[in-house]
Structure 1
Amino acid sequence: MKKEELFGFIGAFLGWVFDSMDATIYALVMVSALKELLKNQGILNTESYVGFYGGLIFSLFLIGWAIGGISFGYVADKIGRVRTLAITIALYSIFTGLSSLAQNVWELGLFRFITAIGIGGEWAGGATLVAEIFKKKNRVFASSLLQSAWAVGFLLASLIYFTIGRYHSWRIMFLIGVVPAFLAFVFRLFVKESEEWLSNKNMFSYIKSLKLLFTKEYVNQTIVGSLLAFVAVFGLWGVTNWTPALISYILHKKDIAYYVGLGSIALNVGALLGYISFGVITKSIGIRNTFILFFGGSFLMGLVTFLYAKSFDKLLISLALLGFFNNGVFSGFSIYFPQAYPSFIRATGAGFCFNVGRTLAAIGPFITGYITYLFGSVARAGAIASSIYLVGVLVVVFLREKNYLQ
């Protein structure tokens, strides 16, 4: 591995680790944070109301994530991958820290919305940078390994919660989330810009790029890619990120934070294996069949986790398998999107697809929260939301495999 490949990969990987960590913190502390904030506002803090407002904030987060992804996809093609990554890392870190100061639900929602703009923007630049600096023979594995950073970040957040957060106020968890801001400065010092972007940057035009996404050459990638992202993001935020709440409400244990922490660790160990495995499996059976395998597995494990895993031991196993499939599927986007478009519209195309999907999926956590409100059960809501993965299996049938990477 060359020096520029190593530094570029490490920089993008760490950016995505802390991206994931800051995104995950809310899911871990949602119940305790909303119980306090709703009580402060004179609103009932029952499971139904926590589910409703929790889902609403999740949806605001996804909208911000989509806005960040689309807008910073443009920025990455305009000013470069490295500078864009530095800006977005600083943005999501600072506003995660500010979330610790929230005094009501709406302030927390606003801070999470702006945090998400930075998190969404970091993905398009990081995935594109790694795809461009690695040679063809190492590209699929590097892109798959990059996506595993999300599981590492999720696991890191779980470990921090397990060792520190459960002994202190939920505000401490958000305050810890400001630490990655320092990475932004280090990133700019050691990571060099993609040579492929440097040689093609004068070809960039945002309006022209958006139009190109819907020409005959790229329209299949744009529509199918957006729908696949919609399914995966809907599932992540409408299913997986409700598992801490599921544990909280079905176990009724005294030290519930301990069990939530263990459950989150199990889920993310599975996710880490899923991220890495996606690239390996893709080399054997192709990306289309791998998507079908992971979407199908996500549907089945969603039902098992929310409806049938009643003991904590069984729940740990099902969470690991759920994480393997419905987190692992995101490695497909790091592989598919960069190769679906040429360099001068690559980050714009990847950002557009992933974040149009995120925008559509913003309704996911709200739906899960509303179903929880109607039935008074997180378990029923999560099981119903898992059916979204069947849509993913159908969409994959229309995927065409192309590769524009040099």
Structure 2
Amino acid sequence: MFRWYRETGPAERRTFWACLGGWSLDALDVQMFSLAIPALIATFGLSRSDAGLIGAVTLVAAAFGGWIGGFLSDRLGRVRALQITVLWFAVSTFLAAFAQSFTQLLALKLLQGIGFGAEWAAGAVLMAEAIRPEHRGKALGAVQGGWAIGWGAAVLLSTLAFSCLEPEVAWRALFACGLAPALFILYLRRSVPEPARPRTAAAVPAHAGPLAIFSPGLRRATVIGALLGLGAHGGFHALFTWLPTYLSAERGTSVLGTGLYLAIIIASFGLGCLVAGGLVDRLGRRRTVALFAGGCMALVVLYLLVPIDGTVLLLLGAPLGFCAAGIPASLAALFSELFPSGLRGTGMGFCYNAGRLASAALPLGVGLLSEICGLGPAIGLFALAAYGLVLLAVGLLPDARSGGALLPQTPR
């Protein structure tokens, strides 16, 4: 599974570890929110709809942040853009620890979302250009697995904080830990080289702006990519924004019990990213995404819409986390091959994060619908709709084992 790593050079390896670290720390900061929802509801007297609104605002901000971050990586350079975005989301997460009202928390989560979306765009395009094409899918899948590392770290910190501190203090301590990623910038500055731009980058005018990805030669790729991003993010956020609350409020699990359920899902998520990366290079982007989307739909039905006992719920967490990983782990390799180098950051940032913009309604929708039909059915219905959209978008994509352009590489 890791033979490809031994075939890479020193610069490729340093870039890999930098992007893996950045994405893991990004996940650490972002996943803290879903784990702190019950405490935030108690501290500020929020409804589930209010909590869903915070999640929605974060995703909307991430959508714009990703587009901006991708554009900056095309203009300022991949490594420099990554440094800026890591610092942004670290500081904004830290400041959220001192929020004194719902409005303040909402504003700070908006700022965090901008950095969150921008970091993925800068890091993904850096990896796509630094790693040789035959290993691109495996490397990007492994980097996406860093989400499981950060997610797991967030669960561990959350379990520790809420076991040792009062809830109204614990969530603040948790958010304060979000400043740690700022130290990561030192490694980026010293160890990671800026990838050389290929000559094809000259085909894109230097003055091309963020809207150049909607030019006639690239418009279809951009729209299909955005639909795919919508389904991928919609399914993930509908499921995992509310899952800790579902386990504790609907299934009655304790703090330690919820941590165990999530640990199984997270470990399986990391494995799913690694396997998906290998399948992307073997089966092609389209088949891999469709395979995982179909698995997600079947497991959502079993996990949330069919009455099962706690033991079966625990066992199903492994395949659920595994399948949920496969779609996002495949997107970076797919999107990187739809756009020319001079617009690659902008295109990847838009497609991946445009999905967040539309999917921002899903956490809010789950919160609203849960007050009518219960949290489990609300999560399940929204997740099924999102993964169904993934299958639809995948049907519009070409099947390629090593990528390739969906449309001409040079915008007209």
2:215 maps to 214
Identity %: 27
Query: Where do residues 3-402 of structure 1 align in structure 2 (5 Å cutoff)?
Result: 3-38=10-45, 49=47, 51-168=48-165, 169-196=170-197, 200=201, 203=204, 205=206, 207=208, 210-216=211-217, 218-253=218-253, 256-308=254-306, 310-375=308-373, 377-388=374-385, 389-400=387-398, 401=400, 402=403
Note the alpha carbon deviations across 1:336-376, whole angstroms, 9 max, x for none. Answer: 0111112111001101111222111111111111101233x
Q: Is the Cα contact below 8 Å between 1:78 and 1:204 reproduced in 2?
A: no
Q: Is the Cα contact below 8 Å between 1:234 and 1:361 reproduced in 2?
A: yes
- The farther-off stretch of 351-360 and 197-206 is 197-206
What is the CA-CA distance between 1:71 and the residue it aligns to?
Answer: 0.8
1:41 maps to none
CA 175–339 in structure 1, closer or farther in 2 if over 3 Å, else same: same
CA 378–305 in structure 1, closer or farther in 2 if over 3 Å, else same: same
CA 212–391 in structure 1, closer or farther in 2 if over 3 Å, else same: closer
CA separation in 2, counterparts of 1:362 and 1:6? 34
Q: Is the Cα contact below 8 Å between 1:162 and 1:262 reproduced in 2?
A: no
Q: Is the Cα contact below 8 Å between 1:197 and 1:344 reproduced in 2?
A: no
Note the alpha carbon deviations across 1:168-189, whole angstroms, 9 max, x for none. Answer: 2111111111111111232112
Q: Is the Cα contact below 8 Å between 2:135 and 2:281 reproduced in 1?
A: no
In the alignment, structure 2 segments of 5+ residues that lack a partner are 1-7
CA separation in 1, counterparts of 2:209 and 2:52? 37
CA separation in 1, counterparts of 2:369 and 2:215? 36
CA separation in 2, counterparts of 1:372 and 1:167? 31
TM-score for both structures, normalised by structure 1: 0.91
CA 164–36 in structure 1, closer or farther in 2 if over 3 Å, else same: closer
Q: Is the Cα contact below 8 Å between 1:22 and 1:177 reproduced in 2?
A: yes
Q: Is the Cα contact below 8 Å between 1:58 and 1:366 reproduced in 2?
A: yes
In the alignment, structure 1 segments of 5+ residues that lack a partner are 39-44
Amino acid of the structure 2 residue aligned with 1:137: E
Note the alpha carbon deviations across 1:87-125, whole angstroms, 9 max, x for none. Answer: 111111111111111122221111111111111001111
What is the CA-CA distance between 1:201 and the residue it aligns to?
Answer: 7.5
Cα RMSD over matched residues?
Answer: 2.0
Amino acid of the structure 2 residue aligned with 1:107: Q
Amino acid of the structure 2 residue aligned with 1:17: S
What is the CA-CA distance between 1:283 and the residue it aligns to?
Answer: 3.1
TM-score for both structures, normalised by structure 2: 0.90
CA separation in 2, counterparts of 1:198 and 1:107? 47
CA separation in 2, counterparts of 1:125 and 1:198? 20
What is the CA-CA distance between 1:329 and the residue it aligns to?
Answer: 1.0
Q: Is the Cα contact below 8 Å between 2:138 and 2:281 reproduced in 1?
A: no
Q: Is the Cα contact below 8 Å between 1:226 and 1:357 reproduced in 2?
A: yes
Q: Is the Cα contact below 8 Å between 2:134 and 2:281 reproduced in 1?
A: no
The count of corresponding residues between Structure 1 and Structure 2 is: 391
CA 222–206 in structure 1, closer or farther in 2 if over 3 Å, else same: farther
CA separation in 2, counterparts of 1:295 and 1:171? 36
CA 303–267 in structure 1, closer or farther in 2 if over 3 Å, else same: same
CA 212–107 in structure 1, closer or farther in 2 if over 3 Å, else same: closer
Q: Is the Cα contact below 8 Å between 1:37 and 1:105 reproduced in 2?
A: yes
CA 201–271 in structure 1, closer or farther in 2 if over 3 Å, else same: farther
SS in 2 for 1:10: helix
